[in-house]
Chain A
């Protein structure tokens, strides 16, 4: 698999605080990589490092195979665009002028493609309206348009839907999917709104206390979170034998608890267990979403 970003034991220490503590992650090419973690887990610190805004204390990363210590990293960064926390736009210019400035910063020979970009983010008809008079959603979209100048292959979005209204969230989701599917842009997106993230991400990286605690694909997550029946019995060894006979998919949690996938015939199961002298203590429907999966992974409690 091709990776656009690979980090290797990345560390960032501020006096006694460890923002990143040996973070290792891999972002596959063409993916929408959901970067999930609490406040202060180290998401923005990592994004800042990748963008060259901050420097690692230890460890390294590779962007398109180029190490962060390599001289070529500056040129390689031209392949990426980023919106970190707040969109980086010039408030006293209109949307078009903002993009023209970014084209100038990048040294593009002309302003071709600006209309297409404005159309893509839905800001074509804003005319002379200054960016400072834009709504939050419009500013976010302009920030993305600025990041998309120069046709990057990698787009880094840090909390892009924070503060957006429901329509703004839908627009942002559609824009991200469009960029990924039509323009084949790899997207790293950090968000607290896990339900929203689960609608678009193809890969996930769960970060806690400056480390990646788990990296997985959306399929793997779906497998982990799929709907099941949680059954509490006196002996899961017997249960496993019965379920094998019934050709049902299951997962043993411990000596008394197991998850059964699919839709088993409860009467048949109960009778079979009765024959094997195994009692059913309780049965409940178990449905884990990204949120509960995340909590089970990093534990609940305060992030302070």
Chain B
């Protein structure tokens, strides 16, 4: 499996879209922090307004990266030289986690540095920021599992578009939860990583619950995806 992860990461470094994603995240960190500073709205949680938009882009780029294995038929090169299907799936999943998390961590790190430079560290409450960061990273991992599941199941170029399309109803759902304030909807939204991300603009009061839900979400999609891929016929 290590060989496959190495190949995936090398290919990501050869792709312009993944590199642009990385550069875009850094630019976005600067843009969010600077614009909030200008409007005097900058605090230690404004940086958490960016991840919602970033994960949508990550899902599209990450999904496209996996679906290229099918559109270019390179998945056959892995299978016909004897790689096990479970290894191929997990290698793709781990590569996606690395892509999502490294980019997000860079975004958060640059945002932190810039926020500290603009407003100082006086109001920074380390436990709250770390809690939000943990929820953000775990939500990223959960969404990477969803992206991998979709693109490995769809097995076509649509694997890049569907994860992005799915984000919109999830976002709409999180808006509805805020507006309608219905209990069961709130409970469901706590389970959805995109909805979790929308709550991070203030210190998260449900860090533990959100982390556990994200882990369950991740495990569900990884296990379901690997099981489906193990038995599926490819072209």
Contact = CB atoms under 8 A, between A and B. Distances in A.
A73 B82 CA distance: 7
Contacts of A51: 76, 79-80
A77 interface: yes
- Main SS of the interface on chain B? helix
B3 A106 contact: yes
Q: Which of B10, B74, B231 lies at the interface centre, i.e. has the most chain A CB atoms within 10 A of its CB?
A: B74
B228 to A, nearest CB: 13
B48 to A, nearest CB: 35
Given A51-B79, A53-B235, A104-B3, A90 B11 contact: yes
B7 to A, nearest CB: 5
Given A48-B233, A97-B14, A102-B81, 15 more contacts: A48-B234, A48-B235, A51-B76, A54-B234, A55-B233, A75-B82, A84-B73, A87-B73, A90-B72, A101-B7, A102-B77, A104-B3, A105-B7, A105-B77, A146-B77
B209 interface: no
A111 to B, nearest CB: 13
B68 to A, nearest CB: 8
Contacts of B84: 74
Interface residues of B, number: 25
A167 B226 CA distance: 45
Contacts of B231: 55
Interface in B36-90: 72-84
Contacts of A82: 76, 80
Contacts of B82: 52, 73-78
A276 to B, nearest CB: 63
B4 A105 contact: yes
Given A88-B74, A106-B3, A53 B14 contact: no
A93 interface: yes
Interface of A: 48, 51-55, 73-78, 80-82, 84-93, 97, 101-102, 104-107, 146-147, 149-150
A183 B127 CA distance: 65
Given A92-B14, A105-B3, A105-B4, A77 B80 contact: yes
Contacts of B4: 105
Contacts of A48: 233-235
Nearest to A85: B73
Counting from the closest, the 7 A-B pairs by CB-CB distance are A77-B82, A74-B82, A51-B80, A88-B73, A54-B233, A107-B3, A78-B82
A57 to B, nearest CB: 10
A52 B79 contact: yes
A91 to B, nearest CB: 7
Contact of A105 (B83, B234, B235): B83
B79 A86 contact: no
Contacts of B233: 48, 53-55
A73 B210 CA distance: 42
Contacts of A54: 233-234
Interface string B8-43: 001100110000000000000000000000000000
A81 B11 CA distance: 22
B3 A53 contact: no
A101 B6 CA distance: 9
Contacts of B80: 51-53, 77, 80-82, 147
B81 A150 contact: yes
A5 B7 CA distance: 30
B92 to A, nearest CB: 13
Contacts of A104: 3, 6-7, 10
Q: Which of B72, B77, B78, B234 lies at the interface centre, i.e. has the most chain A CB atoms within 10 A of its CB?
A: B77
Contacts of B7: 101, 104-105
A185 to B, nearest CB: 15
A89 B75 CA distance: 10
Nearest to A76: B82
Q: Which of B15, B75, B79 lies at the interface centre, i.e. has the most chain A CB atoms within 10 A of its CB?
A: B79
Interface string B167-203: 0000000000000000000000000000000000000
Q: Which of B3, B73, B76, B83 lies at the interface centre, i.e. has the most chain A CB atoms within 10 A of its CB?
A: B76
A103 to B, nearest CB: 10
Contact of B76 (A53, A91, A106): A53
A101 B11 contact: yes
Contacts of A106: 3, 81
Q: Which of B6, B78, B82, B231 lies at the interface centre, i.e. has the most chain A CB atoms within 10 A of its CB?
A: B82
Contacts of A76: 82
A91 B74 CA distance: 10
Q: Which of A82, A86, A90, A97 lies at the interface centre, i.e. has the most chain B CB atoms within 10 A of its CB?
A: A90
Contacts of A102: 77, 81
A105 B78 contact: yes
